[in-house]
Amino acid sequence: MNGDETFLIVDDARLARKMVRSFVAKARPDLTIFEAGDGEEALKVLSGIKELHYATIDYNMPGMNGIDLAKIVKERCPTARIALLTANVQAPLRKRAADIAVGFIDKPINEAKIAAFVTQTATIP
């Protein structure tokens, strides 16, 4: 059953969104899940959500990149737990995410990585 807490998935790949949705639903069936295919759509979705609790954001997307989007989301929703979810596993990008207090989850994702993120046991912000 969906509850008051919300989860936003931002990824231009439909498969990635489906996978995250599936793993989130398994780990936290109480969360209400929203999806967006790019930064612009994410901001539109965000304006319709009362309060955001979790978000995973892809880095390499058409238009705005994931770091720029994460900065805006953090500004609007300072208490939300946000992670960059990307196949771009390079150290400079991990550092840029850490610098803005955003977590980092590397693709390919699995159930354990998403479960750790939504049950708040991972060592990320």
Partner 1 sequence: MSGVFHLRPEVRDALTEIFNIGIGHAAGVLSELVNDEILLTVPELGLTRHTDFAAIAGKLWHEPASIVRQSFQGPFRGDALLIFPARESLELVRILLAEPTPIESMTELEREALLEVGNIILNACLSCIADLLEQEITNALPLYLESDPGSLVNSLIADPDWYVIFIRIDFTVKRHNMRGNILFVLDVPAADAFSAAVEKLVDHFESEP
Considering only 91, 99, 121, 123, the residue that binds partner 1 (CB under 8 A) is 91
Which residues ranging from 50 to 79 are in contact with partner 1 (CB under 8 A)? 60-62
Distance in angstroms (rounded) separating the CA atoms of residues 63 and 69: 10
Q: Interface with partner 1 includes 1 (CB under 8 A)?
A: no
d(CA 89, CA 93): 7
Quick one: 59 or 80, whose CB is closer to partner 1?
A: 59
Asked if 15 is part of the footprint of partner 1 (rule: CB under 8 A), the reply reads: yes
Q: Give yes or no for residue 101 binding partner 1 (CB under 8 A).
A: no
* 103 phi/psi in degrees, rounded to 5: -70, 175
Selected from 2, 3, 14, 44, the binder of partner 1 by CB under 8 A is 14
| Closer of 73 and 109 to partner 1 (Cβ) | 109
The alpha-helical segments, DSSP class H, found in the chain are: 14-27, 39-47, 66-76, 91-99, 111-118
How many Å separate Cα 40 from the centre of its chain? Answer: 15
Main-chain phi, psi angles of 87, to 5 degrees = -85, -10
CB of 100: closest distance to partner 1 in angstroms? 17
Q: Which residues bind partner 1 (CB under 8 A)?
A: 12-16, 18-19, 21-22, 25, 60-62, 86-93, 107-108
